[in-house]
A and B are shown apart, each in its own frame.
Chain A
Amino acid sequence: MIPRVDFVLLFDVKNGNPNGDPDAGNLPRVDPETGHGLVTDVCLKRKVRNFVGLVHGEDPPYEIYVKEKAVLNAQHTRAYKALNLEPDAKKRKSKGKDRAEEDKQLTTWMCTNFFDIRAFGAVMSTGVNCGQVRGPIQLTLARSIDPIIAQEHAVTRCAVTTEKEAEAQSGDNRTMGRKFTVPYGLYRVHGFINPHLAAKTGFGADDLDLFWKSLEQMFESDRSAARGEMAAQALICFEHADALGNAPASKLFDRVSVNRKAAENGTPPRSFADYELKIDEAGLPEGIKINRRF
């Protein structure tokens, strides 16, 4: 059984848009009340999926269920039956207990094949609404340490897409576009690994290692014009000896403080070096181990 882990991930962005808000014309997401930047949980999970798909070539048991076609090369017709699972050949006429058993088999099979179902869960439409898999990994919204500002950049291109556009411009062929960047933002996200749900989906120690690796490296394989330079900066894991936990997560998270160095000089932060990361390891509750993975 894998341990219960509560973790803090710090990642930053330089001159990029970490997560656009579809409600605000793709501006970086901002908490309107405080000005802090936000990155949704699903945005980060997307990157984990892409990373795992990339390093494992999407072979079972590391297939990715929710794919991004543009990024990943689908290899979905792989030999599913290579898995030593009992195929249940009869048509779906089973009832009651048999039906429940069949649903369970299907769910297990999906968990065995797909990394993202094992890790994050999925809603399976197995006829009844009990076909829901809750995965062991739970992420919250990421929030920037300091308020961010979004810069709008007007950019030009020197070609147009259609003849019609070219005619409208009488051959000048220049169009303007916009992009948004955050000059710098350091984001903090909290996550939880749940051993009980891991046991249910078959998420094991190897999967967990792969997940840690994906947190460290997912931004490296997600370069694009919009993102700028994004990087994972620190991953602090609080590992509990007891599967139920040895201390409240909020108390553990309070031990990780991220503060501006020399904030009094008034310059805005522009790199991770402008921050000081402190991990208070004094008087740790019994059964808690801090593991800073990077």
Chain B
Amino acid sequence: MTAYQGQRSHISLRIWGDYACFTRPEAKVERLSYDVITPSAARGVLEALYWKPEVRWVVERIHVYREPRFTNLRRNEVASKASAANAKQAMNGTPAGTLALYADEDRQQRAATILTGVEYIIGARFEVLDDSEPVAKHYNMFKRRAERGQCFHRPYLGTREFACDFAWVEGPIPASPLTGERDLGWMLHDLVFTPLDKNQEKLADTLCAHTGRPLKAEPRFFRAQMHDGVIEVPPLQHATAESVG
């Protein structure tokens, strides 16, 4: 692997939980989890503990401590999202029909194939986006929170109902009981957000929460190979865009 750009500071965070669902994008209606946590979900866990606009988390490797095991959960879910147009009308005092959602009229039963009993260690570093930012400050704040069990919001394994516990890992990373080579196939690495010009607004997938600028969100994939329970995560800029395989 090529040398990483920018400043590095490594952290290791152990995370574990009873259930997890790292949904495969190709199987998201009846959710099917990947075998292991995605770098994107791992980043979400780290950001739940500590994040500032000046830093960016980079997940470097994922240590897997338990054999992936699956179970099934079918739930009644509502099909729709809240309608902004209806909300706007109601807000202006002229509600057109119903604003609420009726769970029993707008119902879908969806099965989820989820992981049970997972445990990982996330190896990551953060990059500072502005060279004047002291890396040590961010590193220490993260470390302090991880050691004390503090978090900005409760981290979770894929979806919010699968909350996870976490602990700071000091010293060498324990070896995984999993051995040998395993090819986990193409996995989601993360989403890349690219700012668009004002005239390209129609192409936008989302808006930047800080600037309101339109952003294009593109998924990136990587070939996940697990060697003795460890998955090396390539840099995001080296991951493959949508058209894989």
Q: Is the CB of B100 within 8 A of A67?
A: yes
Tell me which residues across on chain A come within 8 A of B151, comparing CB atoms: 244-245
B198 touches A95 (CB 8 A): yes
Say yes or no: A128 contacts B212, CB within 8 Å.
Answer: no
Asked whether, in the complex, the Cβ of B105 is within 8 Å of the Cβ of A33, the reply is: no
| Also in contact, A66 and B88, with CB within 8 A (given A41-B161, A95-B198, A248-B149) | no
Task: Please count how many residues in chain B sit with their CB below 8 Å of the partner chain's CB atoms.
Answer: 62
Q: Is the CB of B154 within 8 A of A194?
A: yes
What per-residue 1/0 map shows which CB atoms of A120-151 lie under 8 Å from chain B? 00111111111100100011110100000000
Count, A-B residue pairs, CB within 8 A: 177
User: For residues 138 through 167 of chain B, which have their beta carbon under 8 Å from a beta carbon of chain A?
Assistant: 145, 148-154, 156, 160-163, 165-167
Write out the residue numbers on chain B whose beta carbons fall within 8 Å of the beta carbon of A64. 100
For the complex, give the distance between the alpha carbons of A96 and B153 in Å.
28
- Asked whether any CB of chain B lies closer than 8 Å to the CB of A274, the reply is no
Q: Does B90 contact A (CB under 8 A)?
A: yes
Q: Which of A88, A97, A125, A140 contacts B162 (CB 8 A)?
A: A140
A255 within 8 A of B: no
A42-B76, A76-B99, A249-B154 are contacts. A65–B207 as well, Cβ < 8 Å? no
Given contacts A42-B76, A250-B165, contact A141 B213 (CB under 8 A): no
Shortest Cβ distance from A75 into B: residue: B100
Asked if A54 is an interface residue, CB under 8 A from chain B, the answer is no
> Given the complex, which residues of B lie within 8 Å of A266, measured CB to CB?
none
A247: B residues at CB distance < 8 A: 148-149
**Interface residues on chain A, number (Cβ under 8 Å):** 72
Contact with A along B192-234 (1 / 0, CB 8 A): 0000001001001111110111100100000000000000000
The answer to whether A124 and B100 have CB atoms under 8 Å apart is no
* B-contacting 9-mer, from A103-111, A168-176, A217-225, A228-236: A103-111
Beta-carbon contact of B154 and A192 below 8 Å: yes
Minimum CB–CB distance from B154 to chain A (whole Å) comes to 4
Does B72 make an interface contact (CB < 8 A)?
A: yes
B85, closest chain A residue (CB)? A92
- Whether B120 sits at the interface, judged by CB under 8 Å, is no
Nearest-neighbor residue (CB-CB) of A126 within chain B: B84
- B72 contacts across to A, CB distance below 8 A: 23
Assess whether A196 is in contact with B100, with CB atoms less than 8 Å apart: no
For B204, the chain A residues whose CB sits under 8 A away are 128
Assess whether B100 is in contact with A74, with CB atoms less than 8 Å apart: yes
Residues of A within 8 A of B56 (CB): none
Task: List chain B residues, Cβ under 8 A from A101.
Answer: 212
Decide yes or no whether A22 CB sits under 8 A from chain B. Answer: yes
A47 CB, min distance to chain B CBs, angstroms: 12
Q: Are B102 and A67 in contact (CB under 8 A)?
A: yes
Q: From the candidates B19, B88, B206, name the one contacting A129 in the complex (CB within 8 A).
A: B206
Of the candidate stretches A77-85, A159-167, A201-209, A276-284, the one touching chain B is: A77-85
A96 & B82 in contact (Cβ 8 Å cutoff): no
| Chain B residue at minimal CB-CB distance from A45 | B161
Pick the contact of A194 from B109, B153, B217 — CB < 8 Å? B153
State whether the Cβ of A177 lies closer than 8 Å to any Cβ in chain B: no
For B87, the chain A residues whose CB sits under 8 A away are 106, 109-110, 124
Q: Which residues of B contact A257 (CB under 8 A)?
A: none
For B103, the chain A residues whose CB sits under 8 A away are: 46, 66-69
Q: How far is the CB of A193 from chain B (nearest CB, A)?
A: 9
CB closest residue in chain A, given B50: A244
A88 to B98, CA, bound (A): 20
Least Cβ–Cβ distance between A82 and chain B, in angstroms:
9
- A129 adjacent to B92 (CB under 8 Å): no
What B residues does A125 contact at CB under 8 A?
81-84
Q: Known contacts A31-B71, A32-B71, A248-B165: does B152 contact A66 (CB below 8 Å)?
A: no
Cα distance A111–B205 in the bound complex, in angstroms = 23
Question: In the docked arrangement, what's the CA distance between A250 and B19, Å?
Answer: 15
Distance between Cα atoms of A218 and B123 in the complex (Å):
43
Q: Please name the residue on chain A nearest to B105 by beta carbon.
A: A69
A70 to chain B, nearest CB (A): 6
In the assembled complex, the Cα of A251 lies from the Cα of B100 at a distance in Å of 39
B136 at the interface (CB under 8 A from A): no
C-alpha gap A98/B205 in the complex (Å): 17
Bound-state CA distance A95–B77 (Å) is 33
> Residue of B at shortest CB range from A100?
B212
The reply on B111 being an interface residue by CB < 8 A is yes
A-B contact pairs, 7 of them (CB 8 A): A31-B71, A80-B93, A140-B161, A192-B163, A196-B152, A248-B167, A249-B165
Residues of A participating in the B interface, judged by any CB pair closer than 8 Å: 21-23, 31-33, 40-42, 46, 63-70, 74, 76-77, 79-81, 85, 87-89, 92, 95-101, 103, 105-106, 109-110, 117, 122-131, 134, 138-141, 143, 190, 192, 194, 196-197, 242, 244-251
